[in-house]
Amino acid sequence: MIVADKKPIEEIIDEIKEHERILILGCNECVTVCEAGGKKEVGVLASALRMYFLNEGKEVKVDEKTLERQCDHEYLEEIRSMIDQYDAVVSLACGVGVQFTAEKYHSMPVYPGVNTCFMVVTEERGLWTERCQGCGECILARTGAICPVSRCAKRVLNGPCGGSTDGKCEINKEIDCAWQLIVDRLKALDRLDDYEKISPLKDWSTDRAGGPRKVIREDVQQ
Amino acid sequence: MRLAYPTSIKIIRVPCTGKVDVLYFLRALEKGADGAYAVGCMEGDCHFNSGNLRARKRVEQVQKILDTIGIGGERVQMYNLSSSEGPLFAQYAVEMDERIRKLGPNPIKKHKKKAA
Ligand code: SF4
């Protein structure tokens, strides 16, 4: 999933202080799981903003709505009939949702309510760690299903580098060396021979190096 | 024990302070309460292990939010006692009542009245 972190309320207030009718728009997917932009966080932010504006002596309408997703047309359509009641939207979805909301409602200012981070697993409640950078050409088959692109600081494809010490990465002793993990895992799979195989140069054009990306699937297109 | 405590306090019963959410406090304040506090079991004595520890963290979150928006985090507190400590319950009620009286009414109320 995608993890996002809450933005400080001060920052959000600063973004929206000129507006008088504000919709706080949450998303039921990743940002709900990471407790940054689901229905509850929408409620907390909206309540805090209503109190803030009242305390400032300003009459500002702050409403709440949470959609199933903000990255699909059909769910975003659900607010079409109500959007005219507002002069700004604060989206608590990831950056994808913020942008898609803005694309759909072109003349409506849309502000981000969270900082979108990266693709993660939930290791435990309140701890999310990166596993994938969406490089567009998955090499996990060769690396014992441990990704050196997202988990090695240098994205080394034939590692480890000279900085790997006691299983930890040279950039930070708290971080496991991805290549140590890969070797350990290949050993457990009895596939250490694979480690001897030199990875060819990776085609980075499918990563961000090729500019904004798209996936076209004609087989599922209508 | 028939202990007296301030009449300003309205008790809302929950199965465990772990049930008390950030939103409960905010809604209470938004509706015009001058303050709100949670009374949980002693730390380490939670029947559900960590309900009261979660409540404390949530109270701290609410305090931070209220400080940020200028309402004052002190209006929200967390207390712990064991179920046999009736006098302490009354004492905390008095303490909270005094704290809130010192802080004065919830500042959003005067603007709410104006808006109405
Ligand atoms: S120590 Fe390991 S994880 Fe860190 S940069 Fe070198 S190979 Fe990558």
pLDDT band at B115 (very low <50, low <70, confident <90, very high): low
Look up the domain containing A165 and give its range. Answer: 134-209
Domain assignment present for residue A126? The answer is: no
- Residue to mutate (ligand 1; options A149, A157, A177; most atoms within 8 A of CB): A177
Same domain for A95 and A144? no
Measure A50 CA to nearest chain B CA, in Å: 8
Cα(B72)–Cα(B37) distance, rounded to whole angstroms? 14
Same domain for A6 and A114? yes
Same domain for A7 and A113? yes
Residue A9 confidence (pLDDT):
98
Domain assignment present for residue A220? The answer is: no
Residue B7 has pLDDT above 80, yes or no: yes
Residue B40 has pLDDT above 90, yes or no: yes
The residue of A55, A62, A63, A64 whose CB has the most chain B CBs within 10 angstroms, and thus the best one to mutate to test that interface, is: A55
Residue A86 confidence (pLDDT):
98
Cα(A123)–Cα(A101) distance, rounded to whole angstroms? 30
The residue of A47, A61, A66 whose CB has the most chain B CBs within 10 angstroms, and thus the best one to mutate to test that interface, is: A47
Same domain for A14 and A112? yes
Residue B52 confidence (pLDDT):
96
Same domain for A155 and A183? yes
pTM: 0.94
> Do B68 and A10 lie within an 8 Å CB cutoff?
yes
Same domain for A96 and A7? yes
Residue B106 has pLDDT above 90, yes or no: yes
The residue of A9, A16, A44 whose CB has the most chain B CBs within 10 angstroms, and thus the best one to mutate to test that interface, is: A44
- β-pairing, A2-6 vs A114-124, is antiparallel
Q: What angle do CA A81, A6, B37 make, to 5 degrees?
A: 100
Q: Which residues of A touch B114 (CB under 8 A)?
A: 57
Domain assignment present for residue A172? The answer is: yes
Domain locations in chain B as residue ranges: 17-110
Residue B60 confidence (pLDDT):
98
Residue B109 has pLDDT above 80, yes or no: yes
Residues of chain A where predicted confidence (pLDDT) is lower than 50:
none
Out of A8, A43, A51, closest to residue B108 by CB:
A51
A vs B, Cβ pairs < 8 A, gives 47
Ligand 1 binding residues, C-beta < 6 A: A 152-154, 156, 159-161, 163-164, 169-171, 177-179
Residue A60 confidence (pLDDT):
97
Q: Measuring from atom 4 of ligand 1, which residue has the nearest CA?
A: A169
Same domain for A76 and A9? yes
Same domain for A108 and A53? yes
> Do A54 and B22 lie within an 8 Å CB cutoff?
no
| Residue at which a domain ends, from A118, A142, A163 | A118
User: Domain containing A110 — which CATH number?
Assistant: 3.40.50.2300
**C-alpha dihedral sign at A119, A121, A127, A130:** negative
Cα(A60)–Cα(A142) distance, rounded to whole angstroms? 56
Does A126 lie at the interface with B, CB-CB under 8 angstroms? no
Cα(A79)–Cα(B61) distance, rounded to whole angstroms? 31
Number of separate domains in chain A = 2
Same domain for A148 and A48? no
> Do A44 and B22 lie within an 8 Å CB cutoff?
yes
Cα(A113)–Cα(A126) distance, rounded to whole angstroms? 19
Same domain for A87 and A140? no
Does A52 lie at the interface with B, CB-CB under 8 angstroms? yes
Domain assignment present for residue A171? The answer is: yes
Residue B116 has pLDDT above 70, yes or no: no
Same domain for A83 and A165? no
Domain assignment present for residue A214? The answer is: no
Same domain for A43 and A104? yes
Find the mean pLDDT for residues B67-87.
96
Q: What angle do CA B108, B111, B114 make, to 5 degrees?
A: 150
Burial, B69: exposed, middle or buried (Cβ in 10 Å; 0-12, 13-18, 19+)? buried
